[in-house]
Chain A
């Protein structure tokens, strides 16, 4: 856990994101009809989701560990990772809606990917509501850990599996190329993959900051 107090990976994440901001606009991109320059949105919209997946994975991992050990810190990690994940979820949805307006024609076209992502978002909002409804700490931690363990695979299926099985406008779903050989090249990949790592690290950083605040509040409120 010493990792969360160190600075090097935070500086690294900031530097890599600055690189993606600059290279993302200066480097060349594939020229595609309908997309035009918005293809550069890939460098920002997709990493929001990757960061969300990273932080939700950490959350469910610590939910499982809480159920195994009962250590209260694990529950705090789980809840703060989920809160950060919800924040990146919202960013991903909003950036996606804006991109859709100028490429698909509407902010919300009831596309299977959009609808599924909205349902998964409600699923995780329900986690937050559930936590708020239980006062006793151990009961709250146990019940929300169990809920988290169910919510995570359902979210994965809703966002990654279901849209691929039906017609969708979203890249990678419904028969569209998933930014592969046809519409992505290595000039984009050298910006995209570092962006995945850097934004995931930023999400982890925000989650660790929230967790550390929780730890202090916890210590302050505890009797011993």
Chain B
């Protein structure tokens, strides 16, 4: 009986454990609130549109050559 009570009290000792602190995870809220996120988006959109145009021009040149043959 004494052992069971002792076991129960020791098991309840978890209430004092606080290894992980709730911390704020920094995100890019500053970029978003200042609207600068749109600069990031504009950059990658421009890069990608450039690559897409490149692929389309290759496609068109190939179509022309294939039509001649």
Number of A-B contacts (CB under 8 A): 50
Q: Is the CB of B69 within 8 A of A219?
A: yes
Q: Is the CB of A18 within 8 A of B62?
A: no
Interface size grouping (class) on chain A: 20 to 34
Chain B proximity of A21: nearest CB distance (Å): 5
Chain B proximity of A55: nearest CB distance (Å): 15
Chain A proximity of B67: nearest CB distance (Å): 10
Q: Is the CB of B41 within 8 A of A25?
A: yes
Q: Which residues of A contact B66 (CB under 8 A)?
A: 212, 216
Q: Which residues of B contact A37 (CB under 8 A)?
A: 27-28
Q: Is the CB of B45 within 8 A of A18?
A: yes
Name B65's contact: one of A31, A202, A205, A216 (CB within 8 Å). A216
Q: Mark A24-60, 1 if CB is under 8 A from B, else 0.
A: 0110000111001100000000000000000000000
Q: Which residues of A contact B27 (CB under 8 A)?
A: 31, 36-37
Interface size grouping (class) on chain B: 20 to 34
Q: Is the CB of A209 within 8 A of B59?
A: yes
Using A25-B37, A31-B25, A36-B27 as known contacts, say yes or no to A209 and B62 having CB atoms under 8 A apart: yes
A213, B52: Cα distance in complex, Å: 18
The secondary structure that dominates the A interface is: helix
Please tell me if B63 contacts chain A, counting CB pairs below 8 Å.
Answer: yes
Chain B proximity of A7: nearest CB distance (Å): 8
Chain B proximity of A10: nearest CB distance (Å): 7
Please tell me if A149 contacts chain B, counting CB pairs below 8 Å.
Answer: no
Q: Which residues of A contact B58 (CB under 8 A)?
A: 209
A49, B27: Cα distance in complex, Å: 26
A202, B59: Cα distance in complex, Å: 12
B-to-A contact residues, CB < 8 Å: 23, 25-28, 37, 40-41, 44-45, 48-49, 52, 55-56, 58-59, 62-63, 65-66, 69
The 9 closest A-B pairs by CB, nearest first: A14-B52, A37-B28, A31-B25, A212-B62, A21-B44, A25-B41, A33-B25, A21-B45, A37-B27
Ordered by A's residue number, 26 sampled pairs between the chains whose C-beta atoms are within 8 Å are A7-B59, A10-B55, A10-B56, A10-B59, A17-B52, A18-B48, A21-B44, A21-B45, A21-B48, A22-B41, A25-B37, A25-B40, A25-B41, A26-B41, A31-B27, A33-B23, A33-B25, A36-B25, A36-B26, A37-B28, A202-B55, A205-B55, A205-B59, A206-B55, A212-B66, A219-B69
